[in-house]
């Protein structure tokens, strides 16, 4: 085996060096000079491979997401959509705590166009999980609104825990993620057998079924035996029913 066969190519060395510097010192530690020195390349090589330093950081973040996305997709194989949501939340928090610098690049320093495809893929998995809950007739609101609530709350919890971890106080927040997760799910998802609950009025049941039917129709897409106009009108009715608010 030759030296060429075993020596990482410049692009790989640059990515590894940038990832190590980011993990050790955060965004400020990743400069042209530091990456060049760590990777054993000249600055021009970085720009030739990645365009600029932001392009390099975007690529580092994308690589950091690879294993996380694989776990997210594997989580889709479960049978219980509510448990899948719980596991998806836990995977998100665990990814942030294991990769705090990459997480900040993705979720707190995100720029338009940077890692848009990877971020969109992660969010699409969340939408699919929430849709499954809706199809089971257990979602209290529309799929998009529920997914946004889970997404925003999950980011807030993860950023808080990352800060606590860096301050050496993570143990003080031991129950934060679980308690917040369950509070959010309680607000969004009905119990498996909600009969007898005071809040489970006929209007509430109707709203849940409207959400479920809307999710099923969204999944069916062009296979519906409806004209585009009929489909649009039906979706408007279901959206109104799902809101649970009387027409004025």
List, as one string, the DSSP characters of the chain. --HHHHSPPHHHHHHHHHHHHHHHH-GGG--HHHHHHHHT--HHHHHHHHSSHHHHHHHHHHHHHHHHHHHHHHHTT-S-HHHHHHHHHHHHHHHHHHSHHHHHHHHTS--TTTTHHHHHHHHHHHHHHHHHHHHTT-BSS-HHHHHHHHHHHHHHHHHHHHHHHHTT-GGGGTTHHHHHHHHHHHHHB--SS-TT-TT--HHHHHHHHHHHHHHHHHHHGGGSSS-HHHHHHHHHHHHHHHHTPPP-
Name which of 148, 131, 128, 151 is nearest 139 in CA terms.
131
Q: Which token pair is 141? A: 């609101």
CA atoms within 13 A on the CB side of 89: 27
Per-residue pLDDT tens digits for 25-46: 888 889 999 999 999 999 999 9
Report which of 180, 155, 67 is spatially closest to residue 104, judged by C-alpha positions: 155
Mean predicted confidence (pLDDT) in 239-248 = 60
Of the spans 19-23, 92-96, 244-248, which averages the highest pLDDT? 92-96
Rounded to whole angstroms, what are the CA distances from 183 to 100, 109, 150, 154, 180? 25, 27, 11, 12, 5
Query: What is the C-alpha to C-alpha distance for residues 80 and 216, in angstroms, rounded to an integer?
Result: 17
CA distance 246 to 248: 6
What is the distance of C-alpha 139 from the center of its chain? 19
User: What is 64-189's CATH topology?
Assistant: Tetracycline Repressor; domain 2 (1.10.357)
- pLDDT number for residue 245: 57
Q: Which CATH class is domain 8-51?
A: mainly alpha
Asked whether residue 133 carries a pLDDT value surpassing 70, the answer given is yes
pLDDT interval class at 120 (50, 70, 90): confident
Q: What integer is the mean pLDDT of 54-74? A: 88
Domain-wise residue ranges, the chain: 8-51, 64-189, 201-248
> Among 221, 235, 215, 205, which residue's Cα sits nearest to residue 145?
215
pTM surpassing 0.75? no
Q: What percent of the chain has pLDDT over 70?
A: 73
The pLDDT of residue 127 is 93
> How many residues in total does the chain contain?
248
Cα-flanking dihedrals φ and ψ of residue 104, to 5°?
A: -65, -40
Structure tokens that stand for 107 in this block: 């979720």
């Amino acid at each position: 085996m030759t030296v060429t066969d075993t020596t990482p190519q410049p692009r790989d060395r640059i990515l590894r060096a940038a990832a190590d510097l980011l993990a050790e010192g955060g965004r400020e530690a990743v400069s042209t000079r530091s990456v060049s020195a760590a990777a054993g390349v000249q600055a021009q090589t970085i720009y030739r491979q990645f365009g600029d330093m932001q392009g390099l950081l975007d690529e580092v973040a994308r690589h950091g997401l690879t294993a996380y996305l694989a776990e997210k997709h594997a989580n889709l194989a479960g049978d219980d959509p509510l448990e899948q949501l719980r596991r998806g939340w836990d995977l998100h928090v665990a990814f942030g705590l294991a990769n705090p610098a990459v997480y900040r690049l993705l979720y707190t320093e995100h720029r338009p166009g940077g890692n848009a495809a990877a971020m969109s893929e992660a969010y699409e998995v969340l939408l699919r999980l929430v849709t499954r809950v809706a199809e089971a007739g257990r979602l209290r609101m529309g799929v998009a609104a529920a997914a946004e609530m889970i997404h925003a709350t999950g980011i807030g919890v993860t950023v808080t825990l990352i800060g606590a971890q860096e301050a050496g106080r993570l143990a003080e927040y031991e129950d934060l993620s679980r308690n917040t997760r369950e509070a959010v799910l309680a607000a969004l998802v009905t119990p498996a057998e909600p009969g007898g609950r005071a809040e489970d009025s006929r209007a509430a049941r109707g709203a849940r079924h409207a959400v479920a039917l809307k999710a099923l129709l969204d999944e069916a897409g062009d296979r519906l035996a409806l004209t585009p106009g009929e489909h649009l009108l039906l979706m408007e009715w279901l959206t109104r029913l799902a809101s649970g608010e009387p027409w004025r």
